[in-house]
Amino acid sequence: MSSTPEAGEPSAPRRSSHDAPVSGNERAVREEAAASTVTPATAEEEGPTDVIEAEDGPVEEDEFLAEGWDSSSSKASTSVTSSVYHHAYENGRRYHAYRYGRYPIPNDDLEQNREDMRHASMLETTDGKLFYAPIGDHPGKIIDIGTGTGIWAIEMGDLFPSAEILGLDLSPIQPTWVPPNVKFIVDDIEDEWASGSGWDYAHFRNMAVILRDLQKVVDQTFHHLKPGGWIEFQETWGMPFCEDGTMPEDDIMKRYFALCAAAMAKFGMNVDLGPKVGEHLERAGFINVGCVKKKMPMGTWPKDKRLRLIGLYVRELALHSLASLGKVFANLGMSPTEIEVWGATVRAALKESDKVHRYYFHYFWYAQKPEEAS
């Protein structure tokens, strides 16, 4: 394995991955949530490992105030008829109706705002980079799988005006005013591939953790990339870590993550896959597998101002996500009252997040299809 890269730079290509030790406490927390909880992730640390220094004094009150600051759908596999645009409603939240039940998170305005906030946090984390794969200056065809609000695809369309950008999602929630080289279609990527071939670059963000068969999707993408094309997964791992002893062994956010893992497992999803994506890429036949690993603090406790802003985003995203998980936790058999109690407990912990110096890892995996592959 190559030496550790500088902060923010891709690691050298890698060919294999090894198990990393997992504490007995982490395993016990997961077993406490449910027997179906997924196994701890295996991954090497391949990104910057600098300790995040905490701020000694209070944060300035106005630090985070802002300062000035085609949807055309013709598709062979799924005709975008009016039925695709229908939505289902449960407990006051809106969900997509296409393949209803496949994805248990809402698609209403609250969730869309959260997705756009997540995009902003990613840009802060990557210092403005939309991707890490070395796709060159003139990619011809780019596909964004699980495009959500379409914000990443739109920005890529502006960045590469000569490229063809296609965004896929189960929900038709993307805007109609988009760059002329960008279009969106409704599709289930876990069904048979029907979005053409010869792609130069395939992008996934926070998709590995919600796919029921990650290997199938990676294999299909491999087949439909052009030889020499690139794939990239940008994945958050929600297990909290701490380096200065401020997080207790029985931390509420660890237990909350274990609960989320057990609940999502009921839908066939594995929220621990972020550190393991490289294994699936290698298994599919990809080469030049690399990874950038970033720390994302929760809360405004870091001394570094950019990290404080990222921490603010992370905390707000977590707070907003609580209202989106009612359907997820109900699948564990929890009553509305139990869900509300859990939500209140986690919300209280998040509001005190500057006292506990938690952080998460975000992985940016990228890999290349061999030039000689068909």
Binned at pLDDT 50, 70 and 90, residue 113 comes out as low
| Domains within the chain, CATH numbers bracketed | 24-47+70-368 (3.40.50.150)
Mean pLDDT computed over 3-20:
39
Pairing of strands 93-96, 182-186: unpaired
Helix axes 109-125, 151-159, angle to 10 degrees: 50
Asked if 301 and 51 touch (Cβ cutoff 8 Å), the reply is: no
Binned at pLDDT 50, 70 and 90, residue 318 comes out as confident
Amino acid 269: pLDDT: 85
Asked if 292 and 364 touch (Cβ cutoff 8 Å), the reply is: yes
Asked if 10 and 234 touch (Cβ cutoff 8 Å), the reply is: no
Count CB atoms within 10 A of the CB of residue 216.
Answer: 15
Q: Is the pLDDT of residue 361 over 90?
A: yes
Nearest partner of 10 among 184, 241, 300, 234, judged by Cα? 234
Residue whose token pair is 């909290």: 240
How many residues appear in the chain? 374
Tell me how far apart the alpha carbons of residues 24 and 8 are, in angstroms, rounded to a whole number.
Answer: 31
Amino acid 105: pLDDT: 46
Which pLDDT tens digit goes with each residue over 253-277? 999 899 889 988 888 889 899 999 9
Which pLDDT tens digit goes with each residue over 173-231? 556 778 899 998 887 777 777 678 999 999 999 889 888 899 999 999 999 999 999 99
In degrees, rounded to 5, the angle at the alpha carbon of residue 192 between the alpha carbons of residues 221 and 169 is: 75
Give the mean pLDDT of the chain: 75
Binned at pLDDT 50, 70 and 90, residue 59 comes out as low
Q: Which two tokens stand for residue 320?
A: 């907003």
Tell me how far apart the alpha carbons of residues 208 and 314 are, in angstroms, rounded to a whole number.
Answer: 19
- For the entire predicted model, the pTM comes to 0.74
Tell me how far apart the alpha carbons of residues 51 and 354 are, in angstroms, rounded to a whole number.
Answer: 16
Q: Which two tokens stand for residue 199?
A: 């792609």
CA 246 to chain centroid, in Å, comes to 26
Q: Is the pLDDT of residue 288 over 90?
A: yes
Q: In the chain, what is the greatest distance between 2 CA atoms, to the nearest angstrom?
A: 58
**Which strands, in side-by-side order, build the sheet including 182-186?**
182-186, 164-169, 141-145, 199-205, 225-241, 359-368, 287-297
- Reduced to 3 states (helix: H, G, I; strand: E, B; else coil), residue 157 is helix
Q: How many CA atoms lie within 13 A of 169 on its CB side?
A: 25
Which pLDDT tens digit goes with each residue over 29-56? 344 433 333 333 344 444 445 788 887 7
Nearest partner of 50 among 1, 14, 11, 4, judged by Cα? 4
